[in-house]
Amino acid sequence: MADTAIADPEMRQEFYDPPDMLSQKVDRLAEMVRQSQHMIAFTGAGISTSAGIPDFRGPDGKWTRKADGLEPLKGVTCVEAYPTSTHMALVEMLDRKILKYLISQNCDGLHRRSGVPAQSISELHGNGWVEICEDCGLQHFRDFVCTRLTRPGGPKCPADHFTGRFCGCGGRLLNSTIDFGQSLPEVPLERAQQHSRKADLHLALGSSLRVRPACDQPATTANKGGKLVIVNLQKTPLDDLATLRIFAKTDTVIEMLMSRLMIPIPAFRLQRRVLVCRNNSGNLWQAKAVDAHDPTIEMSHICAVDWNKQGLPSKALENANLAICNSRGGHKYKAKLARQSVDLKLYFMGHYHEPPLDLQVDLSNAMLADIRLSFDPYSMQWFTTSQELLAVSQLQAPADAAQIPDYGQSHRKYCIDAVMKHRKCNSENAAEIVNQRVASSKEEASATARKMGRQQ
C-alpha cells in the first residue's frame, strides 16, 4: 500500500559500497558461511528486480511511486520471469545443505519455480501461484495466477480468497497471498521463528525489513546472538543489529560469494514431473503432472495430451486452459488404449514458450512410469532426466508434507472479522453470513465445473 512507502528521503536513497570495500565485505561473508552450522536466508522483493519485477519501497518501487502520485512501473509478468542468479544460488546452497532454510516475503513464485521445495521455505506473505485447501491445508503450486473468484461488478467478498477450484479432498482452494491487515498462518511463521532462533547466520537479501512480523525473523537471530548480514541498497531499521552491512545489488553479492565458496550457480531449468499409468487390463491410461517434490500433488502444467498420434480434438488446447483456470480439474487426461506401450505428445501451459514433448512409455512390466523432465528455456529444449517404473503404492509424499493446516481457520477468522467490520454485527451473525457465502460459492463453482465438463 502507498501508506507503507518510505517517507524519509534519506532512507529512500540507495547506496553502493566502493569495489574494494565490497570485495572485503564479501570475503568476510564467505568466511561466515564456511563457519556456520545453521545458516538461513531471508528474501525480499529486491532479489527479483533483475528478473524484471519491480520492488515495493525502492526509489521506483510500487508503493513509493503511488505515494508520489505516479503510476507503478510495468515489468514482466511473474509467471514469465526467469529466476535470478540469487534465486538459483539459494537453490544450490539448499541442495548442498549449506543453507538450512529460506524465509521470504515475496509473492512472485520465483523461489518455488527455481526449485525450492515447499518443505524448505516459509512464504510468509503467500504466493500468487499457490492455492491452499481450506479443509486439509494442502498446497497446490500452479502455472497460472490464482485469482480470487469474482462476479460481474466486483469481488464476491473482498476477504474471501476462494479461487473457484477444489482440492482432491473436496475442500475449497484459496488464493494464498496475505492481505494487509490479515494475520499470517501460524505454521509458516512458526517454522520461520524456529529457524531464526536456531540460526547462527541469517542472510537478509533485498528487503527493506519494515513489514512485521516478517522482519522480526532476522532481528530474532541477532537478538539471540547469531550473526545478521544485510544486503540491500537502502538503509533498514535493523542495520544497527547487523554484524555485516553490505550496500550492493543482491545478484552482485551472491555471485561474488559463490565464487569465493567455489560453488557454481546452476542455470535455471524448468523442472517437470509427469506420471503415466494404466489399469490392470491396460485399456485405460492416465497422464498427469505432479509436484516435482511430492508425487501425490497434482499440478496444472499439462494442458493437453495427444495419445498415439491420434491428434487433438478441435479447440482442445483452448478448452483445457480454460478448464484449468476455472474448474475443478482440467489437468488430468485419460484414454482407452488396447495396448501396454504408448506414444505421447504432451502440451504444456507454455509461459516459457516450451514446445510439445514426445514421450514413449512402455508399461508392459509395470503399472506406472514416474518421469522427470527438464526444460532449458535458453536453448528451448526438453530433456528426460529419468523414467522410473513403479507400482502405484511406491509413490510416497515427503515426511514433511506441504501442508498449512491452519490456513483455512485463519482465513475464516479474517472473513468473519471483515463481515463484522462492514456489517457492524456480532461474531455469531458474521459467522452465519460467512457460512452462507461459503456454501453458495461452493455450489456456484461446482455448477461451473459441471457445465465446463459438458462443453469439453
Residues labelled catalytic: 125
Alpha-carbon gap, residue 42 to 324, rounded angstroms: 33
Q: Work out the number of other CB atoms within 10 angstroms of the CB of residue 129.
A: 24
- Sign of torsion over alpha carbons 20, 21, 25, 28: positive
Give the bridge partners for 273, in sequence order. 290, 372
Q: Do 275 and 287 meet the contact criterion of CB atoms below 8 Å apart?
A: yes
First to last CA, the chain: 41
Site of grid cell 469474482: 150
- Burial (0-12, 13-18, 19+ Cβ within 10 Å), 146: buried
Question: How large is the angle between the packed helices 85-95 and 250-260, nearest 10 degrees?
Answer: 40
Q: Do 233 and 246 meet the contact criterion of CB atoms below 8 Å apart?
A: no
Q: Do 431 and 135 meet the contact criterion of CB atoms below 8 Å apart?
A: no
Q: What is the DSSP string of 208-266?
A: ---STTTTHHHHHHHHTT-EEEEE-SS--TTGGG-SEEE-S-HHHHHHHHHHHTT-PPP
Site of grid cell 480439474: 329
- Which residue, 334, 316, 338, is CA-closest to 275? 334
Alpha-carbon gap, residue 249 to 231, rounded angstroms: 7
